Structure 1
Amino acid sequence: MRRVEALLNEYGESHTNSTNILIHAIAVPAIYFVSIGLLWSIPTPAFLDYFNVTWAHVFAVPVLWYYFKLSGPIGAAMTLLTIAGFLFIYAIDNAGLVVWQVCLALFVVMWILQFVGHHIEGKKPSFFKDLQFLLVGPAWWWGHWFKRLNIQY
Protein backbone atom coordinates (compact mmCIF):
# COMPACT_ATOMS: atom_id res chain seq x y z
CA MET A 1 0.00 0.00 0.00
CA ARG A 2 1.29 3.46 -0.90
CA ARG A 3 2.15 5.83 1.94
CA VAL A 4 -0.63 8.28 1.02
CA GLU A 5 -3.21 5.49 1.12
CA ALA A 6 -1.94 4.25 4.49
CA LEU A 7 -2.08 7.76 5.99
CA LEU A 8 -5.55 8.50 4.62
CA ASN A 9 -6.84 5.11 5.81
CA GLU A 10 -5.40 5.63 9.28
CA TYR A 11 -6.86 9.13 9.45
CA GLY A 12 -10.18 7.78 8.25
CA GLU A 13 -10.35 5.31 11.15
CA SER A 14 -11.29 8.15 13.51
CA HIS A 15 -13.64 9.73 10.98
CA THR A 16 -16.41 7.25 10.26
CA ASN A 17 -19.46 8.92 11.84
CA SER A 18 -21.46 10.88 9.25
CA THR A 19 -21.83 13.90 11.56
CA ASN A 20 -18.10 13.96 12.27
CA ILE A 21 -17.36 13.65 8.55
CA LEU A 22 -19.70 16.57 7.78
CA ILE A 23 -18.11 18.71 10.50
CA HIS A 24 -14.65 17.90 9.16
CA ALA A 25 -15.75 18.64 5.58
CA ILE A 26 -16.41 22.20 6.74
CA ALA A 27 -13.84 22.68 9.49
CA VAL A 28 -10.74 21.15 7.87
CA PRO A 29 -10.58 23.47 4.85
CA ALA A 30 -11.66 26.40 7.04
CA ILE A 31 -8.80 25.74 9.46
CA TYR A 32 -6.42 25.51 6.53
CA PHE A 33 -7.63 28.89 5.24
CA VAL A 34 -7.44 30.65 8.58
CA SER A 35 -4.01 29.15 9.32
CA ILE A 36 -2.83 30.86 6.16
CA GLY A 37 -4.40 34.08 7.46
CA LEU A 38 -2.73 33.79 10.85
CA LEU A 39 0.67 33.23 9.23
CA TRP A 40 -0.04 36.07 6.77
CA SER A 41 -0.65 38.37 9.74
CA ILE A 42 2.72 37.82 11.42
CA PRO A 43 4.97 40.83 10.78
CA THR A 44 7.75 40.07 8.32
CA PRO A 45 11.34 41.26 8.19
CA ALA A 46 12.28 43.92 5.64
CA PHE A 47 13.83 41.44 3.19
CA LEU A 48 10.49 39.60 2.88
CA ASP A 49 8.57 42.87 2.65
CA TYR A 50 10.81 43.90 -0.21
CA PHE A 51 9.56 40.91 -2.23
CA ASN A 52 5.96 41.32 -0.96
CA VAL A 53 6.21 37.89 0.71
CA THR A 54 4.53 36.96 3.98
CA TRP A 55 5.15 34.12 6.42
CA ALA A 56 2.17 32.39 4.83
CA HIS A 57 4.03 32.31 1.51
CA VAL A 58 7.19 31.03 3.21
CA PHE A 59 5.35 28.22 5.01
CA ALA A 60 3.28 27.29 1.94
CA VAL A 61 6.39 26.05 0.11
CA PRO A 62 7.34 23.16 2.47
CA VAL A 63 3.68 22.36 3.15
CA LEU A 64 2.94 21.99 -0.55
CA TRP A 65 6.17 20.03 -1.01
CA TYR A 66 4.88 17.59 1.65
CA TYR A 67 1.61 17.16 -0.25
CA PHE A 68 3.32 16.66 -3.60
CA LYS A 69 5.59 14.10 -1.96
CA LEU A 70 2.48 12.21 -0.82
CA SER A 71 0.78 12.36 -4.23
CA GLY A 72 0.82 14.54 -7.33
CA PRO A 73 -2.97 14.93 -7.44
CA ILE A 74 -3.13 15.68 -3.70
CA GLY A 75 -0.33 18.25 -4.15
CA ALA A 76 -2.15 19.89 -7.06
CA ALA A 77 -5.43 19.96 -5.13
CA MET A 78 -3.72 21.44 -2.08
CA THR A 79 -2.13 24.07 -4.31
CA LEU A 80 -5.65 25.07 -5.39
CA LEU A 81 -6.80 25.10 -1.75
CA THR A 82 -3.80 27.25 -0.83
CA ILE A 83 -4.56 29.73 -3.62
CA ALA A 84 -8.19 29.82 -2.46
CA GLY A 85 -6.92 30.45 1.07
CA PHE A 86 -4.86 33.42 -0.07
CA LEU A 87 -7.86 34.79 -2.00
CA PHE A 88 -9.95 34.39 1.17
CA ILE A 89 -7.34 36.33 3.17
CA TYR A 90 -7.14 39.09 0.55
CA ALA A 91 -10.95 39.36 0.59
CA ILE A 92 -10.94 39.76 4.38
CA ASP A 93 -8.20 42.37 4.16
CA ASN A 94 -9.90 44.26 1.31
CA ALA A 95 -13.14 44.30 3.31
CA GLY A 96 -11.30 46.40 5.89
CA LEU A 97 -11.38 43.67 8.54
CA VAL A 98 -8.42 42.78 10.73
CA VAL A 99 -7.23 39.49 9.24
CA TRP A 100 -5.68 37.99 12.36
CA GLN A 101 -8.80 38.69 14.44
CA VAL A 102 -11.18 37.13 11.92
CA CYS A 103 -8.87 34.16 11.43
CA LEU A 104 -8.29 33.60 15.13
CA ALA A 105 -12.02 33.65 15.84
CA LEU A 106 -12.73 31.19 13.02
CA PHE A 107 -9.75 29.03 14.06
CA VAL A 108 -11.16 28.65 17.58
CA VAL A 109 -14.72 27.98 16.39
CA MET A 110 -13.62 25.41 13.80
CA TRP A 111 -11.43 23.54 16.29
CA ILE A 112 -14.28 23.45 18.79
CA LEU A 113 -16.50 21.99 16.05
CA GLN A 114 -13.90 19.35 15.26
CA PHE A 115 -13.65 18.32 18.90
CA VAL A 116 -17.46 18.14 19.05
CA GLY A 117 -17.29 15.85 15.99
CA HIS A 118 -14.74 13.62 17.68
CA HIS A 119 -16.86 13.52 20.83
CA ILE A 120 -19.78 12.34 18.69
CA GLU A 121 -17.47 9.86 16.95
CA GLY A 122 -16.15 8.62 20.27
CA LYS A 123 -12.54 8.64 19.04
CA LYS A 124 -9.61 10.94 19.67
CA PRO A 125 -8.32 13.14 16.84
CA SER A 126 -5.56 11.43 14.84
CA PHE A 127 -3.04 14.19 15.49
CA PHE A 128 -2.93 13.17 19.17
CA LYS A 129 -1.07 10.09 17.92
CA ASP A 130 1.06 11.85 15.29
CA LEU A 131 1.24 15.58 14.53
CA GLN A 132 1.67 14.72 10.85
CA PHE A 133 -2.09 14.14 10.79
CA LEU A 134 -2.63 17.90 11.06
CA LEU A 135 -1.44 17.97 7.45
CA VAL A 136 -3.13 14.71 6.49
CA GLY A 137 -6.60 16.11 7.30
CA PRO A 138 -6.83 18.35 4.22
CA ALA A 139 -5.44 15.52 2.05
CA TRP A 140 -8.14 13.22 3.47
CA TRP A 141 -10.74 15.85 2.58
CA TRP A 142 -9.50 15.81 -1.02
CA GLY A 143 -9.39 12.01 -0.97
CA HIS A 144 -13.14 11.98 -0.38
CA TRP A 145 -13.69 14.18 -3.44
CA PHE A 146 -11.29 12.14 -5.54
CA LYS A 147 -13.15 8.92 -4.69
CA ARG A 148 -16.49 10.49 -5.62
CA LEU A 149 -15.04 11.69 -8.93
CA ASN A 150 -13.20 8.41 -9.50
CA ILE A 151 -9.79 10.15 -9.60
CA GLN A 152 -6.71 8.18 -8.58
CA TYR A 153 -4.54 9.87 -6.01
Structure 2
Amino acid sequence: MNNTQSPARRRPVDSLLWRYTESHRHPVNELIHCICVPAIVFTLLGMIWSLHPLAAYAVVLTALIYYFFLSSRLALGMLLMAACFLSVLGALPVTLIRPVCAAVFVLAWIGQFIGHHIEGKKPSFFEDLRFLLIGPLFVLGVLYRRLRIPY
Protein backbone atom coordinates (compact mmCIF):
# COMPACT_ATOMS: atom_id res chain seq x y z
CA MET A 1 0.00 0.00 0.00
CA ASN A 2 1.38 3.39 -0.96
CA ASN A 3 0.75 5.67 2.03
CA THR A 4 1.89 8.79 0.13
CA GLN A 5 -1.27 8.77 -1.98
CA SER A 6 -4.44 10.32 -0.64
CA PRO A 7 -7.07 7.72 0.31
CA ALA A 8 -9.24 8.84 -2.62
CA ARG A 9 -6.53 7.92 -5.19
CA ARG A 10 -5.82 4.44 -3.86
CA ARG A 11 -7.30 1.17 -5.05
CA PRO A 12 -10.42 0.25 -3.05
CA VAL A 13 -8.47 -2.46 -1.18
CA ASP A 14 -5.78 0.06 -0.22
CA SER A 15 -8.36 2.52 1.06
CA LEU A 16 -10.17 -0.14 3.07
CA LEU A 17 -6.93 -1.47 4.57
CA TRP A 18 -5.75 2.08 5.31
CA ARG A 19 -9.01 2.84 7.15
CA TYR A 20 -8.85 -0.49 9.00
CA THR A 21 -5.23 0.10 10.00
CA GLU A 22 -6.17 3.43 11.59
CA SER A 23 -7.66 1.55 14.56
CA HIS A 24 -5.02 -1.22 14.62
CA ARG A 25 -1.68 0.59 15.04
CA HIS A 26 -0.68 -0.56 18.52
CA PRO A 27 1.71 -3.54 18.17
CA VAL A 28 -0.13 -5.55 20.86
CA ASN A 29 -3.48 -4.94 19.19
CA GLU A 30 -2.01 -5.95 15.82
CA LEU A 31 -0.59 -9.15 17.34
CA ILE A 32 -3.92 -9.95 19.01
CA HIS A 33 -5.69 -9.44 15.70
CA CYS A 34 -3.18 -11.63 13.87
CA ILE A 35 -4.11 -14.45 16.26
CA CYS A 36 -7.80 -13.80 16.86
CA VAL A 37 -9.02 -12.88 13.36
CA PRO A 38 -7.94 -16.19 11.80
CA ALA A 39 -9.40 -17.98 14.83
CA ILE A 40 -12.72 -16.21 14.30
CA VAL A 41 -12.74 -17.03 10.59
CA PHE A 42 -11.96 -20.68 11.35
CA THR A 43 -14.66 -20.91 14.02
CA LEU A 44 -17.29 -19.23 11.84
CA LEU A 45 -16.52 -21.68 9.07
CA GLY A 46 -16.63 -24.48 11.62
CA MET A 47 -20.06 -23.49 12.90
CA ILE A 48 -21.36 -23.24 9.32
CA TRP A 49 -19.64 -26.57 8.49
CA SER A 50 -21.47 -28.20 11.41
CA LEU A 51 -24.75 -27.24 9.73
CA HIS A 52 -23.61 -28.50 6.32
CA PRO A 53 -20.15 -28.61 4.72
CA LEU A 54 -21.48 -27.27 1.41
CA ALA A 55 -22.71 -24.17 3.19
CA ALA A 56 -19.16 -23.52 4.41
CA TYR A 57 -17.85 -23.89 0.86
CA ALA A 58 -20.54 -21.46 -0.38
CA VAL A 59 -19.53 -18.86 2.24
CA VAL A 60 -15.87 -19.22 1.27
CA LEU A 61 -16.68 -18.90 -2.43
CA THR A 62 -18.78 -15.78 -1.83
CA ALA A 63 -16.05 -14.13 0.25
CA LEU A 64 -13.39 -15.09 -2.32
CA ILE A 65 -15.36 -13.41 -5.10
CA TYR A 66 -15.45 -10.19 -3.04
CA TYR A 67 -11.74 -10.51 -2.22
CA PHE A 68 -10.87 -11.15 -5.87
CA PHE A 69 -12.45 -7.85 -6.88
CA LEU A 70 -10.39 -6.10 -4.22
CA SER A 71 -7.04 -7.82 -4.89
CA SER A 72 -6.29 -11.02 -6.76
CA ARG A 73 -3.11 -11.58 -4.71
CA LEU A 74 -4.90 -11.21 -1.39
CA ALA A 75 -7.71 -13.42 -2.72
CA LEU A 76 -5.15 -16.11 -3.52
CA GLY A 77 -3.83 -15.92 0.05
CA MET A 78 -7.37 -16.13 1.39
CA LEU A 79 -8.01 -19.14 -0.86
CA LEU A 80 -4.99 -20.92 0.63
CA MET A 81 -6.06 -20.03 4.18
CA ALA A 82 -9.65 -21.14 3.54
CA ALA A 83 -8.45 -24.40 1.97
CA CYS A 84 -6.38 -25.13 5.09
CA PHE A 85 -9.29 -24.30 7.39
CA LEU A 86 -11.74 -26.43 5.41
CA SER A 87 -9.25 -29.32 5.31
CA VAL A 88 -8.86 -29.20 9.09
CA LEU A 89 -12.63 -29.07 9.53
CA GLY A 90 -13.01 -32.08 7.25
CA ALA A 91 -10.55 -34.05 9.38
CA LEU A 92 -12.10 -33.19 12.76
CA PRO A 93 -14.70 -35.39 14.42
CA VAL A 94 -18.09 -33.82 13.65
CA THR A 95 -19.15 -33.97 17.31
CA LEU A 96 -16.23 -31.72 18.35
CA ILE A 97 -16.60 -28.99 15.75
CA ARG A 98 -19.53 -27.03 17.16
CA PRO A 99 -18.53 -26.93 20.86
CA VAL A 100 -14.86 -26.24 20.16
CA CYS A 101 -15.65 -23.55 17.59
CA ALA A 102 -18.18 -21.87 19.88
CA ALA A 103 -15.66 -21.69 22.75
CA VAL A 104 -12.79 -20.45 20.58
CA PHE A 105 -15.13 -17.92 18.88
CA VAL A 106 -16.04 -16.35 22.23
CA LEU A 107 -12.43 -16.31 23.45
CA ALA A 108 -11.18 -14.79 20.18
CA TRP A 109 -13.76 -11.98 20.34
CA ILE A 110 -12.78 -11.28 23.94
CA GLY A 111 -9.20 -11.01 22.70
CA GLN A 112 -10.27 -8.61 19.95
CA PHE A 113 -11.99 -6.31 22.44
CA ILE A 114 -8.97 -6.44 24.77
CA GLY A 115 -6.83 -5.38 21.81
CA HIS A 116 -9.12 -2.47 21.08
CA HIS A 117 -9.09 -1.47 24.73
CA ILE A 118 -5.28 -1.38 24.56
CA GLU A 119 -5.49 0.55 21.26
CA GLY A 120 -7.97 3.02 22.73
CA LYS A 121 -10.17 2.84 19.63
CA LYS A 122 -13.41 1.06 18.89
CA PRO A 123 -13.49 -1.79 16.35
CA SER A 124 -13.75 -0.64 12.72
CA PHE A 125 -16.85 -2.69 11.99
CA PHE A 126 -18.86 -0.41 14.29
CA GLU A 127 -18.56 2.18 11.51
CA ASP A 128 -18.75 -0.11 8.48
CA LEU A 129 -19.76 -3.78 8.49
CA ARG A 130 -17.47 -4.43 5.49
CA PHE A 131 -14.61 -4.37 7.97
CA LEU A 132 -15.73 -7.78 9.23
CA LEU A 133 -14.50 -9.03 5.83
CA ILE A 134 -11.49 -6.70 5.75
CA GLY A 135 -10.07 -7.99 9.06
CA PRO A 136 -8.78 -11.20 7.46
CA LEU A 137 -7.21 -9.16 4.63
CA PHE A 138 -5.52 -6.95 7.23
CA VAL A 139 -3.92 -10.03 8.83
CA LEU A 140 -2.89 -11.37 5.44
CA GLY A 141 -1.52 -7.91 4.56
CA VAL A 142 0.65 -7.99 7.69
CA LEU A 143 2.03 -11.36 6.57
CA TYR A 144 2.55 -10.16 2.99
CA ARG A 145 4.42 -7.05 4.17
CA ARG A 146 6.70 -9.13 6.40
CA LEU A 147 7.41 -11.50 3.51
CA ARG A 148 7.72 -8.54 1.09
CA ILE A 149 4.93 -9.86 -1.11
CA PRO A 150 3.10 -7.09 -2.99
CA TYR A 151 -0.66 -7.12 -3.00
Deviation at 1:73, TM superposition (A): 0.6
Matched, 1:2 2:15: no
CA distance in 2, matches of 1:97, 1:91: 12
Aligned to 1:87: 87
Aligned to 1:32: 41
Give the secondary structure class of the aligned counterpart of 2:92: helix
Give the secondary structure class of the aligned counterpart of 1:30: helix
CA distance in 1, matches of 2:86, 2:147: 26
Q: How is 1:69-84 mapped onto 2 (pairs within 5 angstroms)?
A: 69-84=69-84
Q: Kindly report structure 1 stretches of 4+ aligned residues shifted beyond 6 Å.
A: none
CA distance in 2, matches of 1:113, 1:92: 24
Matched, 1:151 2:127: no
Q: How is 1:129-148 mapped onto 2 (pairs within 5 angstroms)?
A: 129-148=127-146
Supply the RMSD in Å over aligned alpha carbons. 1.2
1:21 to 27, 30, 33: 30
CA distance in 2, matches of 1:113, 1:26: 9
Give the secondary structure class of the aligned counterpart of 1:98: helix
Aligned to 1:64: 64
1:11 to 7, 17, 20: 20
CA distance in 1, matches of 2:91, 2:104: 15
One-letter amino acid of the structure 2 residue matched with residue 67 of structure 1: Y
Query: Deviation per CA, 1:82-116, whole angstroms, max 9, x where unpaired?
Result: 011112212332xx642111101100000000001
The aligned length equals: 142
CA distance in 1, matches of 2:58, 2:105: 20
One-letter amino acid of the structure 1 residue matched with residue 91 of structure 2: A
The answer to whether the 8 A contact 1:33-1:88 is kept is no
Query: Deviation per CA, 1:44-84, whole angstroms, max 9, x where unpaired?
Result: 4xxxxxxxx52101111111101111101100000011011
One-letter amino acid of the structure 2 residue matched with residue 28 of structure 1: V
CA distance in 1, matches of 2:102, 2:64: 23
TM-score calculated relative to the size of structure 1: 0.88
CA distance in 1, matches of 2:38, 2:30: 12
One-letter amino acid of the structure 1 residue matched with residue 48 of structure 2: L
Give the secondary structure class of the aligned counterpart of 1:77: helix
CA distance in 2, matches of 1:97, 1:15: 36
The percent identity for this pair of structures is 45
